[in-house]
Structure 1
Amino acid sequence: GGDHWNCKPDIVALSKGLGSGYAPLGALAAPMRLVQPLLDSGGFQHGHTYAGNPLACAAGLAVLGEMDRLDLIANAAAMGDVLMDGLKGLAKRFPFIADVRGKGLLTGAQMVADPETLRPIDQTKKATQRLLDLAYERGLIIYGRRVKG
């Protein structure tokens, strides 16, 4: 988020995608002004089953290398613009799409029964599941916030 909103975080936690699902991996990035006092006090002793796993670390390095080589951050931003434009176009055509928001490829659309009051669509219509199924049939994998309906 810091790249988009002109802010610089003190600490960045990385996980999940870092190992691309091949192996559990997490990392923490922080400036030396925060790390050095911790090191000076003896460090941070922590251990767990996957600590320092060579396979996970190799997967993480490979993922970071591919992200750089393929310029995936810029691609996600560009494709996010395409997605946002498309969803906003759909919202103009279909009044049940009350709001479209997001950044990059992390985007959401709010479906409602009444755009004036934002009354939700009746769960018995199973609109979310129908949308998920239609998208999947067309090769698009999305997920909805609503678990039922």
Structure 2
Amino acid sequence: MTITRITHLPAGSDFRSLFERSAVETGFLLTVEDRLGIERLLRHRGTKNAPNPPLLNGLLRHKLRISRGAPEPAPPELVVAGCHVTYMISGEGARTGALSMSPVPIPGHVLVASLLGATLIGMRKLQKVPLLRDDGQIETVVVLDVHPSPDHAAA
């Protein structure tokens, strides 16, 4: 019996390094609190009010896989739950909203339980990434500014 080793596939540790490089290239950073918040949304079906929950759930799981841990305390330019973020979607004007882990819509808030919010969390000021829209279109979103919420600023 002959055993043939396939040498063109990376070994286990090489697979890990591919994923780590992938996370570094994406540039997403999640705080422990944000990671736990996303996991809670997924576990408790907090995305059920979204137009396409399976798509959003997939995006959130992907974000958890590819994001690196953020330093604590989080850098001021990092988009985290509770911060006020100013962003611009290609072809549109600048908008501002507070990023929220709430599963239900709140006026003036961008929900992490939306494709936009799921994309924004973990981004940094002036970072530009693809944004998947509910209708399947792919746009570009850029973070223009980030401000801590009054609650986090007082702490």
TM-score range with shorter-chain normalisation?
Answer: under 0.3
TM-score using structure 2 length? 0.25
Query: Which structure shows the bigger proportion of residues in helix conformation?
Result: 1
* Structure number with bigger Rg: 1
Bigger relative contact order (CA 8 A; separation at least 6)? 2
TM-score using structure 1 length? 0.25
